[in-house]
Chains A and B, each alone.
Chain A
Amino acid sequence: MRGVTRVGRAACAIATGLTMAGCGGGGGFGGAGVLTSSWGDPQNPLEPANTNEVQGGKVLDMVFRGLKKYDPRTGRAVNMLAERISTPDSRTFTVTVKDGWRFSNGEPVTARSFVDAWNYGASLRNNQKDAYFFGYIDGYDKVHPDSGRQSADTLSGLTVTGPRTFTVRLNQKFVGFPDTLGYAAYAPLPRVFFTDHAGWLRKPVGNGPYRIASYAKGSAMTLKKWNGYPGPDPARNEGVTLLVYTDSNTAYTDVLAGNLDLVDDVPATQLKNVRTDLDGRYINTPAGILQTLAFPYYDPKWNTEGARKVRTGLSMAIDRAQITETIFRRTRTPATDWTSPVLGTAGGFQDGLCGHACDYDPAGARRLIREGGGIPGGRLKITYNADTGSHKQWVDAVCNSINNALGDDKACVGNPVGTFADFRNQIGQHRMTGPFRAGWQMDYPLIQNFLQPLYYTGASSNDGRWSDARFDRLVDRANAETDRAASVRLFQEAEKVVRDNMAAIPLWYQNGSAGYTARLSRVTLNPFSVPVYNEIKVG
């Protein structure tokens, strides 16, 4: 492990440069038992309610534990800091926090740690990008109005009732609410977060199995096992060093050369070689991510009965099996519903719900598109952003598939937009004229999360402005239901409305993938495609 020590030494040089934190000791940086892992520079400051992408999420997952935690294998929400969450009516919840939990600086985790953190996350003045997570709590419209100044600093729905108990009152019935509490935005925060905010940002302090030893923005973060961690899932290694890579291909090459232990995003271009390159040290597990093609329903051309047939026809013109096999090397699975397999059937996933409409059937596709009056506007332009991910490849493949099915090699073309911001702007300003790329990564493993934000009338991520009264009614009823299973069934009914209208064309379920060196064992990915670092064994 010559290379590893060299990386270690380099990372250590930065660490000492910034914090003078322990880089001495035997065996170079961190000593034995520390693994190095690829990382991307987080796009936002590492506040829990301000982190909306996977790279920042990785750190939060190691440094924080919330009321609930999603089981890395099943995705089910299980109690972590919560001793009990009870509700008589699906609207008022009483939370009891377990005794004995502390932050790594010694401060006990209390009911107040949660309530303060949530009030901070919801408050407009703090610019937290995940603030909408608190939108179900009473008083959110006061601390985070859509326009104008906020008229309150704290959520009126949150009340501390004891050192370890607090109540949450929602502004509507939401039976799944406790299951959302595993998301990082709901993490507790220590007092120092509020008293020395800048200091906390330089080196966040949490209550998870790791503590941050040093953080060099833009290049590396070293996390050490926290020996005082009281939870049931302590780290099985001595620490993790996250190294920033600007290209996952480089990280992959470094794993091949033994300079890096774990790359958690194997580049698509290397997937053909990964099994031989790494001798089986490669994992590929489902994650709660669904890729779809969304449509602009604000464009009257797409909001007709004929267009519904065209959408179904287009869906049948896409050879999902071929594309996921050839382009993605099975790191995607052809989608047959509008949720994700990680929900499990009990959670609402229905394999094959889409039915024949998601099967490749060129003849059927031609017939439906002809019946529907042909592609609106004559040519199908699939809009995507060119700067992130390798969307060009699959968009080209989807277009080729449609072109082959329709027998016209110019029926469908990709329409790249230079930057993600521009792409989002064009979507926000309703300038789409045809289908556009839509990816959805679940916030929490609930069927509600795959449907309501995307298809409910006026919902935050309903980018195509799709609207259906029947769907809305079913969602309202499902949320008000006190029985979980009954609620899931109603959501499934709502999903059938989405299907019957082909509101969006489901493409494929995305997997997480990772490759690692022979030093590591027990490497797994959770349903959010983040490595379960605390389970990894080194050596």
Chain B
Amino acid sequence: MPEQPYEPEGAIAGTGMGGAMDLGASEATTLERAPGGPPGAGPAGKPRSLWSDAWRDLRRNPVFLLSALVILFLVFVSLWPSAIASGSPLGCDLAKSQDGPGPGAPFGYDGQGCNVYTRTVYGARTSVTVGVLATLGVAVLGSVLGGLAGYFGGWWDALLSRVTDIFFAIPVVLGGLVLLSVVTSNTVWPVIGFMVLLGWPQISRIARGSVITARQHDYVQAARALGASDSRILLRHIAPNAVAPVIVVATIALGTYISLEATLSYLGVGLKPPSVSWGIDISAASPYIRNAPHALLWPSGALAVTVLAFIMLGDAVRDALDPRLR
């Protein structure tokens, strides 16, 4: 690997961008310090230290513990919804349409006269599965491809960037109608696959940008001078420094994927009845916000709590990976 400043797509390093940035540049380049654990660990220290330090940090972090608790609860509800809700989410009586809370229905009834509490509990499985798996898929695929593009640059970066340009241009509606209308199975997998397919370019861009920045840091140059391999530099030095924006975007995207599932259902290409999900209920309740806000409030609230848990988790993980915050 040549030791020279980042050259996107094989450009040859020229002069700097101009004098105006010199101050920031010199400070940044000369004073930035490598992470890699507590002093003494050194940039080429034992591989265990960074990640195990992070884990030790996490276990003591109350924010992490709280979010983990919420997530465990969501997993529990997804697996055994009948443990906390009685009745069927599909048993709806139009006579109770938009009614307020009643016996057995602490959250009231929606427009079709379905029990909002039961539906919110039963909706967790689909929504949490779609949200978490789509986010994981997008984050992994996006950061690997984007990270490599940012690190190696050159033709690989050019190719990948132009592919993402095309992907960005595919309207979600068109993609959904074309790719999902041929699917006959009524499971979450095609929906998740679709989200990963259309979602990775965004994370890829973010990861690429972060890696381009991290790549310039002195500790990376130093590691390279010491003869570290590309994979080692990427995993040990660049990944911990570039992961923060990916985590931020991914945790928020989790919420939008749960909503996107409803958009796809609305278009008639997502999950079809008798599937139950928060997204489907949120989109069904939205037009009736003036008359039955409660039907929107609870599934939306469940979505908000889920997103909050993952945002807090993301924050805790990010903090744990950043030695400067210790």
User: Is B287 a contact partner of A385 (Cβ separation < 8 A)?
Assistant: no
Contacts A393-B111, A396-B112, A418-B177; A386 near B267 (Cβ below 8 A): yes
Query: Are B274 and A418 interface neighbours, CB within 8 A?
Result: no
Contact indicator B274/A409 (Cβ below 8 Å) = yes
Chain A-chain B contacts (Cβ-Cβ < 8 Å), number: 73
B106 close to chain A: CB less than 8 A: no
Q: Is A467 interfacial (CB 8 A cutoff)?
A: no
CB contact under 8 A between A273 and B268, given known A393-B111, A400-B94, A419-B177 = no
Please judge, given known A-B contacts A272-B291, A413-B274, whether A387 and B113 are in contact too, CB under 8 Å.
no
Complex alpha-carbon distance, A326 and B92, angstroms: 13
Contact bitstring B88-125, A, C-beta under 8 A = 1, else 0:
10111111010000000000000111000000000000
Residue of B nearest to A419 (CB): B177
How many residues does chain B have at the interface if contact means C-beta atoms less than 8 Å apart? 26
**Given A273-B290, A409-B274, A418-B181, also A387-B93 (CB < 8 A):** no
Q: How far is the CB of A169 from chain B (nearest CB, A)?
A: 47
Pair B287/A396 contact, Cβ less than 8 Å = no
Contact call B268/A326, Cβ cutoff below 8 A: no
Q: How far is the CA of A385 from the CA of B268 in the complex (A)?
A: 8
- In Å, the complex CA distance between A422 and B88 comes to 33
Tell me how far the C-beta of A31 lies from the nearest C-beta in chain B, rounded to whole angstroms: 36
Q: State in angstroms the CA–CA spacing of A397 and B112 once bound together.
A: 6
Q: Closest Cβ of chain B: how far from A399's Cβ, in Å?
A: 7
Counting CB contacts under 8 A, is A403 at the interface?
yes
B194 within 8 A of A: no
Is B112 within 8 A of A415, CB to CB?
A: no
A353 at the interface (CB under 8 A from B): no
Residues in A neighbouring B177, C-beta threshold 8 A? 418-419
A310: Cβ under 8 A from any B Cβ: no
Q: State whether the Cβ of B266 lies closer than 8 Å to any Cβ in chain A.
A: yes
Query: Which residue from B95, B269, B290 sits with its C-beta under 8 Å from A418?
Result: B269
Decide: A400 and B288 in contact? CB cutoff 8 A. no
* Contact B94–A319 (Cβ < 8 Å): yes
Determine if A417 and B268 form an interchain contact, defined as CB atoms under 8 angstroms apart.
yes
Contact A322 B112 (CB under 8 A): no
Picked from B90, B111, B272, B290, the residue with its CB within 8 Å of the CB of A415 is B272
Whether B269 and A326, one on each chain, are in contact in the complex, defined by CB atoms closer than 8 angstroms, is: no
* Cβ-based interface call for B273 (8 A): yes
Closest approach, in angstroms, between the C-beta of B286 and any C-beta of chain A?
9
Are B90 and A416 touching (Cβ within 8 A)?
no
Known: A323-B94, A400-B92. A269 touches B266 (CB 8 A): no
Q: Identify 16 residue pairs between A and B in the complex whose beta-carbon atoms are under 8 Å apart, listed by A's number.
A: A269-B287, A273-B290, A273-B291, A327-B97, A385-B268, A387-B267, A392-B266, A393-B111, A400-B92, A400-B93, A401-B94, A404-B93, A409-B90, A417-B181, A418-B177, A419-B177
Give B contacts to A, CB under 8 Å.
Answer: 88, 90-95, 97, 111-113, 176-177, 181, 266-269, 272-274, 284, 287-288, 290-291
Q: Which residues of A contact B (CB under 8 A)?
A: 249, 267, 269-270, 272-273, 319, 322-323, 326-327, 385-387, 392-393, 396-397, 399-401, 403-404, 409-410, 413-419, 422
